[in-house]
Structure 1
Amino acid sequence: MNVAVEHIATDQPPDDAKARDLDYGWQSGNHVELLENGEAYFPKVFEAMRAAQREILLETFILFEDKVGFELKGILIEAAQRGVKVVASLDGFGCGELSAAFLRELAQAGVAVQMFDPASKVLGIRTNWFRRLHRKIVVVDAAVAFIGGINFSADHLGDFGPEAKQDYAVQIVGPAVADLHHFALAQSGRQVRARRGWRRRPQRPGLSATSNEDGLVRLIYRDNVQHRDDIEEAYIDALSKARTRAVIANAYFFPGYRLLREIRNAARRGVQVQLIMQGQPDVLLAKLAARMLYDYLLKDGVVIHEYCQRPLHGKVALVDDDWSTVGSSNLDPLSLALNLEANVLIRDRAFNQQLYASLEALARDHCQTMPEKRKPRLWLWRLTVGFLVFHVMRHFPALTGWLPAHKPRLKPIESPAHDV
């Protein structure tokens, strides 16, 4: 029996979505819950999926065949068999090791499986390294949504061992779920109805909400068409307005000069700026790249912590007492210039305080603080090298978009097996 697995290889939105240029404003009246690590995330998202009555939309960078992946598969199959529409959008690189049997079981049960940019290995080496579907979004019945940095893999659980990842996501209930639902539906290539309230893209997508109320949420995302810099601009905008404190916890930290300058300028104004970086990285290059920037930031008063208990995988930040962001985007060239990413901006004092307490405990109990080193020649040299490396990393991989494997195409494929 043939198995239908849709293969999507495009970093452009569907035609109907592109025509409207998906742009989401601030939504009020939301309840946002912080979910730290798989211990908090998986029970919540699996409970919501088990209770689904109409629809489950899922996007993930990584899905492994481990205890988490098998539990997810069982839940999706059971949901599809009871008549729930289930769409699972997977990345061809992050999910490239999934077996044909695993995908066949999903498809045969009625799950619409989509693979973004699949590619067979060449001489045992993957070729689809760049422009990844890096988002992690789940929307159930258009009533509850989850977004963050947590993949569906057992390495987000503490019992995985020393390599278990430290990470964050949020559960959202309220009007903002409609935006996440609309976005996930449009990005999956499904038909979506025009929604009221579409507005032209603002000049600065990270601009603060006009209201001072709590429970405000805004979806922002990065693609390779109309929204290339939205997430980066949101960080820059928030930092430029910071008054008292800013905390950034990011696994892969190698931003461009504009963002680095806003971090430094905030510290110069007297803002208490803390960065939480990887001290025990899963990718050694990430730690080495981040350290190239330390001297530039330390000399102006930025406090840098390295988390040493296990690999840091989080992508969160907060500014002052009410602005926060949680999502899939790292602050490196891959996330800021190539990958498809999504974050939410949150204006809520209680959530901000909850995230701050969690990050403060992390920095206090499980991090080492980097000492300030006043070596002007050293930091200037590192910054110069870092600037060159950043722009090489940022622009050179984009040339891969010219290759045939990255020409936009949306093509359903019928095959008895799946090999990516």
Structure 2
Amino acid sequence: MNRRWTSGNRFELLENGEQFFPAVFEAIRNARTEVVLETFIVFEDKVGRELHAVLIDAARRGVTVDVLVDGFGSSELTPDFIGSLTSAGVRLRTFDPKPRFLGMRTNVFRRMHRKIVVIDGQLAFVGGINYSADHLMDFGPQAKQDYAVRVEGPIVADIHAFARSAITTGDEPRRWFHRRPAVPRKHELPRAGESDALFITRDNRDHRTDIERHYRIAIRAARKEVLIANAYFFPGYRLLKDMRKAARRGVRVRLILQGEPDMPIVKTAAAMLYDHLQRAGVEIHEYCARPLHAKVALADDEWATVGSSNLDPLSLSLNLEANVVIRDRAFTQHLRSRLEELIATSCKQITAERLPRQNLLTLVRSFFVFHFLRRYPAWAGWLPAHVPVVVAPHSGDAARQRDAQTMAGMAHATESTDTP
């Protein structure tokens, strides 16, 4: 896939489900030829049911609809939900489906964590928002705070080609009446704005460190400011080192992390790093209104990224992820204003007085934490290294027999799980 910067794009920041879901569902309703959708989670709640309805409607009016969901994140989909999609013509695939063992899911590692939508090869959405009601404010105190972008312009060609490959590489032959729409090339898509953009992914073969590398490039190049909002924060040693160096040379480095986490261990892990970062001058703010699910960042006046990648061992060393990197002053300023509002209204700053006092136990713990952070990319290869597959799920017993026809190769986007 082309990893070069592409000019002439337009990005619209979408905050939470209130902005994201209507934009995506309306785009699907207006699709003329093709919908390609990848997501980690679809739940059968009011959001999942609306997605279900618009996908079925699109397929019934002749739009080619391809959907890829993760076998861990979307493991609760019922046969009726799946069957009505496939009966309408939706080509649904599951990444790495696995049977439960003693009631527990076994496909814990190497998840397909991307969230991508492409409409007619002309419009795309990339971000961190899943299709579930907990991304809406009316869900209550556990509603998630998160972001995505609506994308127009030549960069959509890269996103489209990647998403198409992820779902369809190695698929069964198509008859003439099932032909897929042609993938537009960059030069065929008109300029939509002034943003330069780069679409970057993380996999377990060819692009293991691309997302982390672009974070590090931006942090090392920053002269005034770095602002990161990230839900699951336990980055590698090199990324931590770059943050500390930036703060020490006078860059204002601010982190917005979870104060009311959906998983308590997330806050515990991140808090182990607070003293180490603060000693270098990094500011830490905990978002306390509700769980933070964001995966966004900015540096100085013109660099920003939005996507699915957390800054933790799963996202940086195991999962399949996708981000867009954006060079655009107006977009970066808008993202900054939204994040600074979070800091002003819903965050508490962690100061030295709030940290526990250092003792022998915390010093020993820090020693092991930092050695883990230094080494975990290599250790990740010791985790279960089965080859994930993409399976076409079916609702009937006879059709289940056909599920043995899997795509074990998964060239390019879905990727085999070589040792990271």
**Distance in 1, Cα, partners of 2:101 & 2:246:** 47
2:90 aligned with 1:111: yes
Hey, what does 1:139 align to over in structure 2?
Answer: 118
Hey, what does 2:157 align to over in structure 1?
Answer: 178
Deviation at 1:23, TM superposition (A): 3.3
**Distance in 1, Cα, partners of 2:256 & 2:351:** 14
**Distance in 2, Cα, partners of 1:383 & 1:320:** 31
Conserved 8 A contact 2:238-2:374 = no
Conserved 8 A contact 2:83-2:395 = no
Match of residue 238, structure 2, among 258, 264, 275: 258
Match of residue 343, structure 2, among 360, 363, 371: 363
Hey, what does 2:74 align to over in structure 1?
Answer: 95
Counterpart of 2:311, as a letter, is L
1:168-317 aligned within 5 A: 168-190=147-169, 214-317=194-297
- The superposition leaves residues 199-228 of structure 1 with CA deviations (integer Å, 9 ceiling, x where unpaired) of xxxxxxxxxxxxxx9411110000000100
- The superposition leaves residues 45-102 of structure 1 with CA deviations (integer Å, 9 ceiling, x where unpaired) of 1110000000000000000000000000000000000000000000000000111110
Hey, what does 1:15 align to over in structure 2?
Answer: none
SS in 2 for 1:69: helix
- The superposition leaves residues 334-361 of structure 1 with CA deviations (integer Å, 9 ceiling, x where unpaired) of 0000000000000000000000000000
**Distance in 1, Cα, partners of 2:79 & 2:150:** 32
**Distance in 2, Cα, partners of 1:409 & 1:118:** 8
Hey, what does 2:367 align to over in structure 1?
Answer: 384
Hey, what does 1:325 align to over in structure 2?
Answer: 305
More displaced, 387-396 or 274-283? 387-396
Deviation at 1:25, TM superposition (A): 1.2
SS in 2 for 1:166: coil
**Distance in 1, Cα, partners of 2:77 & 2:376:** 29
- Size of the aligned set, in residue pairs, is 381
Judged with a 3 Å threshold, the aligned counterparts in structure 2 of structure 1 residues 348 and 317 are, in CA distance, closer, same or farther, namely same
- The superposition leaves residues 19-55 of structure 1 with CA deviations (integer Å, 9 ceiling, x where unpaired) of xxx2321111111000000001011111100000000
- 4+ residue runs over 6 A deviation: 191-197, 374-379
Counterpart of 1:398, as a letter, is G
Query: Which consecutive unaligned segments of at least 5 residues does structure 1 have?
Result: 1-21, 198-212
SS in 1 for 2:290: coil
Conserved 8 A contact 1:130-1:397 = no
Counterpart of 2:47, as a letter, is V
Judged with a 3 Å threshold, the aligned counterparts in structure 2 of structure 1 residues 270 and 320 are, in CA distance, closer, same or farther, namely same
Conserved 8 A contact 2:41-2:74 = yes
Match of residue 126, structure 1, among 94, 105, 118: 105
**Distance in 1, Cα, partners of 2:373 & 2:264:** 16
Deviation at 1:384, TM superposition (A): 1.9
Match of residue 50, structure 2, among 71, 74, 77: 71
- The superposition leaves residues 259-289 of structure 1 with CA deviations (integer Å, 9 ceiling, x where unpaired) of 0011111110111110000000001111000
Judged with a 3 Å threshold, the aligned counterparts in structure 2 of structure 1 residues 30 and 74 are, in CA distance, closer, same or farther, namely same
Conserved 8 A contact 2:161-2:183 = no
**Distance in 2, Cα, partners of 1:167 & 1:140:** 22
**Distance in 2, Cα, partners of 1:102 & 1:393:** 39
SS in 2 for 1:286: helix
More displaced, 371-380 or 332-341? 371-380
Counterpart of 2:215, as a letter, is Y
Hey, what does 1:54 align to over in structure 2?
Answer: 33
Conserved 8 A contact 2:305-2:326 = yes
Hey, what does 1:372 align to over in structure 2?
Answer: 352
Conserved 8 A contact 2:157-2:183 = no
Judged with a 3 Å threshold, the aligned counterparts in structure 2 of structure 1 residues 168 and 408 are, in CA distance, closer, same or farther, namely closer
1:146-165 aligned within 5 A: 146-165=125-144
Deviation at 1:162, TM superposition (A): 0.2
Counterpart of 2:247, as a letter, is A
**Distance in 1, Cα, partners of 2:394 & 2:145:** 38
Deviation at 1:385, TM superposition (A): 2.5
Conserved 8 A contact 1:57-1:87 = yes
- The superposition leaves residues 177-201 of structure 1 with CA deviations (integer Å, 9 ceiling, x where unpaired) of 111001101111248989989xxxx
2:322 aligned with 1:342: yes
1:391-402 aligned within 5 A: 394-402=377-385
Judged with a 3 Å threshold, the aligned counterparts in structure 2 of structure 1 residues 408 and 118 are, in CA distance, closer, same or farther, namely closer
Deviation at 1:390, TM superposition (A): 3.6
Hey, what does 2:174 align to over in structure 1?
Answer: none
More displaced, 37-46 or 364-373? 364-373
Conserved 8 A contact 1:299-1:372 = no
Judged with a 3 Å threshold, the aligned counterparts in structure 2 of structure 1 residues 413 and 156 are, in CA distance, closer, same or farther, namely closer
Conserved 8 A contact 2:31-2:120 = yes
Match of residue 9, structure 2, among 30, 33, 53: 30
**Distance in 2, Cα, partners of 1:412 & 1:102:** 14
Identity %: 54
SS in 2 for 1:118: coil
Query: Which consecutive unaligned segments of at least 5 residues does structure 2 have?
Result: 171-179, 187-192, 404-420
Counterpart of 2:368, as a letter, is V
- The superposition leaves residues 362-406 of structure 1 with CA deviations (integer Å, 9 ceiling, x where unpaired) of 01110000012697777764542222444676555533444xxx2
Q: Aligned-residue CA RMSD in angstroms?
A: 2.3
